[in-house]
A and B are shown apart, each in its own frame.
Chain A
Amino acid sequence: MKYWNPFAETLARETLLELEVKNLRKILRYAKEHSAFYKARYKDINPEDIRSRDDVRNLPLIDKEDLRTAQEEQEPYPFGKMLGVPFDEVTAFRQTSGTTGKPVYVPETYESWQWRVEVWCQLLWMAGFRETDRVFVPFGYNVYVAFWEGHYGAEKLGCEVVPGGALDTKGRINKMSEVKATALMNTPTYGLYMAETARKMGVDPRKMGIRRMLCAGEPLPEATRRRLEETWAAEVYDHIGGTEPCAWAAMCEERNGLHIMEPFFLVEILDLESLRREVAEGELGVAVVTPLGRRSFPLVRFNTKDVVRKGSDGCSCGRTSMMISKVAGRADELRKVRGVLFTPVSVEEVLREEFPAIGEYEIVVAKKGAMDEISLKVEPQEEMGADMIAELTVEITERLKMKTNLRFRIEFAKPGELPRYTLKSRRFKDLRGE
C-alpha cells in the first residue's frame, strides 16, 4: 500500500479544508472547557462562529512566550494553565530545548501520545520506512520529543528499532555495522559527522547498507540533503515540527518539498509583516499550526516562527495536502545586518552546494565601532595549503556576496577545530546585543 491512510491522504482539497475547520471547532470547544489558559484567552469567542479558514484568522495567535507565561509559577506544576486534562492522566513529560529562553513543558497522556505517534507513522510511511527496515537511532532521547516519536512511530509501523544512546560516535558506527541497520534518524549535522567518523575508522558510509535517513532537529537545506544522500548512498528525507505542535510537514517519496500533515493539523502560512494574510504560492510566510486531535496540551493557532515558502496543493505522489516548497529558517534567526535581511540558512546553502571541501562552519555577527561585521569561520574536511585557502577565501566571499548581498570576513579553521553538535547545532551567533 502506497499510503498510510489512503482515504485521508487523498481527500478532495475542499473536503479536507472543511474537515480541518470542523475539527478546529471541536478542539477549541474542548480547550475552552478544559484548559484555564483558553478559558481566559477565548472567553468572548464562540467556537461555533468558526465556519471557514477566513474565520480562523480572527482568532488570536499564541506563541512560545504565551506558553511560558501560562506555566510560570502556575499550578499544576509544571504545566500550569496549558494543561488540558486532569493532572493524573499525564503519562509523559517532554520539554523544549530552551534555545530561545525558559523551556516549555509539554504533558502527554497515553491518548495524546498515540495521536503524536500516528502522525509519525504517516510521516515515516511517506518516507518509505517499512516492516523490513532496521532503524538505528543514534541518540539518547532524554526529555526531548523528536526521537521518542520517531522510535515509537517506527515501532508501530513494524520496523525493528535499535536505540543507539549511551554510545559514542565510534561505538554507534560499530553497532550500526554489527546489526546491519538499514535506516537512520538523526540531525543533518550528526549525519555528516557520523560519516566523517566512519571514514576515519576506515569504514565507507556508502557501503554500510543505509537505505534511508530521516532528518530531524535542524533545518535541512536542499544542498545539505543532497550532500547527505551522496555521503550515505541513501534516500534522505526532511520534516519540520516542534515539541509543542508535533511534526507538521514532511517529505514524501518524491523528495520535492514537504507535505503539510493534513488532516492532523490546520496550518496557515501568514505574511511576515502583519501575520494577517495567507500568502500565495511561492511566497515566504510564517507557519501557524493547530494540532487537531491532541487534548493534553491544546494548541490553537500556535505561531511556530518557522519561515517557509508556500508550495502548491497536491503533488505527483497523489496526496492532496498543501505543500511547502522550502523551509527558509526561523523568524527569530532572521536578522538585519547592515540593513540587509539575512538568514543563516543561505550560508549553509552556498557552502553545501558549491564548496564540498568545507565541512563545518560558524557565523558570527558583531559590532565593529558603529558598523555590523559578519564573519564566517570555515573548516576544511582535510588540511589545505595556503594557496588553496587564499583561492577559496575569494570564491566564498564572492558567492556569499551574490547570495546574501553581504560581505563576509572569511577565516579558516583547522580540520576538527570547530565544535560538533549531536542535537541542535549552534552555528550562528549574533553578539551585537551583548
Chain B
Amino acid sequence: MKSAIRDLDPDLLKDMDQKIREIERLVLDLEEMGKGMPVVEKNTRSILSFTHVLRFGISDVAGMLDKQGGA
C-alpha cells in the first residue's frame, strides 16, 4: 500500500521532533530549578508524561524517516 505520508511534509515532522526535544529540555531545567517544591516537581512530571507520548508518536517516526533519508 502506498504511504499517504508522501503527501505530508517530512520537514514538518523533523521540526516537531525538534520542538518536543526543546520542551523536554526546558521542563527538565525547570524540574531541576524547582527541586523540593511539589508544585514544580509534580507538574513537570506530568508534562514529561505528555512529552513521552509525543516522542513515541512523533519523534520515533521522525527518527525512522530521517534514517531512511526522508519520507
* Residues of chain A having any CB pair with chain B under 8 Å: 5-8, 10-13, 15, 18-19, 22-23, 109-111, 113-115, 118, 263-264, 292-293, 313-314, 318, 320
Question: Inter-chain contact count A-B, CB under 8 Å?
Answer: 68
Contact, CB under 8 Å: A15 / B64:
yes
Shortest distance between the CB of B25 and any CB in chain A (Å): 17
Contact, CB under 8 Å: B3 / A10:
yes
Contact, CB under 8 Å: B57 / A118:
yes
Q: A6-B8, A110-B45 are in contact. Are A15 and B57 (CB under 8 A)?
A: no
Contact, CB under 8 Å: A320 / B1:
yes
Shortest distance between the CB of B61 and any CB in chain A (Å): 5
Contact, CB under 8 Å: A11 / B3:
yes
Q: A6-B8, A263-B60 are in contact. Are A115 and B53 (CB under 8 A)?
A: yes
Q: A7-B8, A15-B65 are in contact. Are A114 and B56 (CB under 8 A)?
A: no
Residue of B nearest to A16 (CB): B64
Shortest distance between the CB of A17 and any CB in chain B (Å): 10
* Residues of chain B having any CB pair with chain A under 8 Å: 1, 3-5, 8, 13, 45-46, 48-50, 52-53, 56-58, 60-62, 64-65, 68
Contact, CB under 8 Å: A115 / B64:
no
With a CB–CB cut-off of 8 A, which chain B residues contact A318? 4
Shortest distance between the CB of B28 and any CB in chain A (Å): 14
Interface residue from A7, A23, A118, A313 paired with B53 (Cβ < 8 Å):
A118
Contact, CB under 8 Å: B61 / A19:
yes
With a CB–CB cut-off of 8 A, which chain A residues contact B45? 110-111
Q: How far is the CA of A12 from the CA of B10 in the complex (A)?
A: 13
Contact, CB under 8 Å: B60 / A19:
yes
Residue of A nearest to B45 (CB): A110
30 A-B pairs in the complex with CB atoms less than 8 angstroms apart: A5-B57, A5-B58, A6-B5, A7-B5, A7-B8, A8-B57, A8-B58, A8-B61, A10-B3, A11-B64, A12-B3, A13-B1, A15-B3, A15-B64, A15-B65, A19-B61, A109-B49, A111-B52, A113-B49, A114-B49, A114-B53, A115-B52, A115-B53, A115-B56, A118-B53, A263-B61, A264-B56, A292-B56, A293-B56, A320-B1
Shortest distance between the CB of A380 and any CB in chain B (Å): 46
With a CB–CB cut-off of 8 A, which chain B residues contact A23? 60
With a CB–CB cut-off of 8 A, which chain A residues contact B56? 115, 118, 264, 292-293
Q: A115-B52, A115-B56, A293-B56 are in contact. Are A7 and B1 (CB under 8 A)?
A: no
Interface residue from A6, A114, A263, A264 paired with B50 (Cβ < 8 Å):
A114
With a CB–CB cut-off of 8 A, which chain B residues contact A320? 1, 3
Q: A8-B57, A15-B64, A19-B64 are in contact. Are A314 and B52 (CB under 8 A)?
A: no
Q: How far is the CA of A314 from the CA of B4 in the complex (A)?
A: 11
Contact, CB under 8 Å: B49 / A111:
yes
Residue of B nearest to A316 (CB): B1
Q: How far is the CA of A22 from the CA of B45 in the complex (A)?
A: 26
Q: Which 8 A-B pairs have the closest CB atoms?
A: A314-B1, A10-B4, A111-B49, A12-B3, A114-B49, A293-B56, A118-B53, A19-B64
Q: How far is the CA of A314 from the CA of B68 in the complex (A)?
A: 22
With a CB–CB cut-off of 8 A, which chain B residues contact A22? 60, 64
Q: How far is the CA of A318 from the CA of B4 in the complex (A)?
A: 7
Shortest distance between the CB of B51 and any CB in chain A (Å): 10
With a CB–CB cut-off of 8 A, which chain B residues contact A8? 57-58, 61
With a CB–CB cut-off of 8 A, which chain A residues contact B46? 110
Contact, CB under 8 Å: A12 / B52:
no
Shortest distance between the CB of A92 and any CB in chain B (Å): 12
Q: How far is the CA of A80 from the CA of B27 in the complex (A)?
A: 32
Q: How far is the CA of A281 from the CA of B13 in the complex (A)?
A: 33
Contact, CB under 8 Å: B58 / A114:
no
Residue of B nearest to A13 (CB): B1
Told that A7-B13, A114-B49 touch, could you supply 4 new A-B pairs with CB distance under 8 A?
Answer: A10-B5, A110-B45, A111-B48, A264-B56
Residue of A nearest to B67 (CB): A18
Shortest distance between the CB of B65 and any CB in chain A (Å): 7
With a CB–CB cut-off of 8 A, which chain B residues contact A114? 49-50, 52-53
Shortest distance between the CB of B58 and any CB in chain A (Å): 7
Q: How far is the CA of A401 from the CA of B50 in the complex (A)?
A: 53
